[in-house]
Amino acid sequence: MGNKPAQDDAPPGAWTLTTTRSPDGMVDLTTTIATEGEPMIVVLRLTREEARAHARGVMAAAGDALERTFGGEEQQ
């Protein structure tokens, strides 16, 4: 019980994102989402270019959410 991974104690909806480069140059992008039962795990196997494009998209979405939450440019 004391050796449980931290994500087992995470509230439902919490998530983690990890990357692992494989020897063939591909990137495994693993998303783990806490649920009421077992965590949901999604693994995307991407080329390096796809992984970078995905990261740019995630950063853009986070920036948009930040502006909507805290203001920023005038809302149209």
Residue 72 banded pLDDT, cuts 50, 70, 90: low
What is the per-residue pLDDT across 2-56, written as a single tens digit (0 to 9) for each? 333 445 678 888 989 899 999 999 999 999 999 988 899 999 999 999 999 999 9
With b meaning 16 or more CB within 10 Å and e meaning fewer, what string describes 20-49? eeeeeeebebeebbbeeeebeeeeeebeee
- What one-letter code names the amino acid at 56? R
Kind plus residue range of the DSSP H or E element containing 23: none
The pLDDT value recorded for residue 3 is 35
